[in-house]
Amino acid sequence: MNKLPILLVALGLLLLQACDTLDVYEKMAFFPQHEWKSSQKPNFRFQIEDTVSTYNIYVVIRHEDAYRYNNIWLNVTTQAPFDTARKQMLNLILANNAKGWLGVGMGDVFDHRILITRHPVKLKKGNYVFTLQQAMREDPLPYVLNAGIRVEKTKP
């Protein structure tokens, strides 16, 4: 009797049980030419219902190994329910000289999930809109595949 299929099913169930995902929202914009023009300002819309929990908010960047910089400057605009839009310029570090790329790599593609809230935040009930705009000197910015937003509930 072959025990491999039983072992694989058991391992799969164990992994599913271990994945206690707390993500609320994650979406990425794709740049077809692998370059991000400053005129491209992807919007990310999501709704919050749970106002008891706290959340971490991340910017997600995917780029090729040929990306020429250790960082990326972004204008991030946040429209929260019943508030005026808030714009902030962020310098997101993608690499350092000692370790290389700080994200997770597969082949020549690297993913970065960078926390943009200093600590978990409470969010109001309602609709949120995040807008990302690259603010680098090089325009269009080559070797950028995707940019996005990820919102996660913090663990109690």
- Kindly state whether residue 14 falls inside one of the protein's structural domains: no
Q: What pTM does this model have?
A: 0.83
Q: What digits encode the pLDDT tens for the residues 108-138?
A: 999 999 999 999 999 999 999 999 999 999 9
Segments in the chain forming alpha helices (H):
4-18
Which domain CATH number covers 118?
Answer: 2.60.120
**Which residue segment(s) compose the domain that 79 sits in?**
21-153
Distance separating alpha carbons of residues 85 and 9, to the nearest angstrom: 48
- Kindly state whether residue 9 falls inside one of the protein's structural domains: no
Tell me the residue length of the chain.
156
How big is the chain by its Cα radius of gyration, in Å?
Answer: 18
- Kindly state whether residue 67 falls inside one of the protein's structural domains: yes
Q: Which one has a higher pLDDT value, 23 or 39?
A: 39
